[in-house]
Amino acid sequence: MPKKPSDVDIWIDREKKNEHIRQALENASTYFDHNDVLDVHTLEAVYGKESSFGNLLKKRGIVKPAGAFQLDKVTAERYGLSVSKENDQRFDIDYASIAAARYLKDIDYGFSKETILTQSR
């Protein structure tokens, strides 16, 4: 019995067929700079986790998370995406990957700030 292909195997096969996804992720990764620990591989990992490399783009309604990076409506709009029944850019890999890269950069920046922990007595 042949082994069922993994999500990574499916992704590699799709990548060969669809250079557009790879290019979209690479273009979006230009939002990261030399000070960031983030890169195109970070976007690929999030894309893989959130939508099974584009295989699970199920629409869950306008407000709930949806699309390639499972962004909710508020977050998507905060990063410049149009979210409506007529036009939901969370499903457009070009727009969604840019929004996701900007969002990841902001999250990374927030968590990389030095903090001072104090003990209460």
Phi-psi region of 44 (alpha: psi -120 to 50; beta: other; left: phi over 0): alpha
Exposure b/e, 18-51, CB count within 10 A at least 16 = b: eeebeebbeebbebbeeebebebebbbebbeebb
**Tens digits of residue pLDDT in 77-102:** 999 999 998 999 999 999 999 999 99
End-to-end CA, the chain: 64
Which of 5, 80, 10, 84 lies closest to 47 in space, CA to CA? 10
Higher pLDDT, 8 or 103: 103
Alpha helices in 1-121 (DSSP H): 7-17, 19-28, 40-51, 73-78, 93-112
The residue extents of the domains of the chain are: 7-112
Over 70: is that where the pLDDT of 115 sits? no
Q: How confident is the model at residue 78, as a pLDDT? A: 98
Over 80: is that where the pLDDT of 45 sits? yes
Q: How confident is the model at residue 121, as a pLDDT? A: 60
Q: How confident is the model at residue 86, as a pLDDT? A: 92
Over 80: is that where the pLDDT of 114 sits? no
Over 80: is that where the pLDDT of 60 sits? no
Q: How confident is the model at residue 120, as a pLDDT? A: 64
Its pTM stands at 0.78
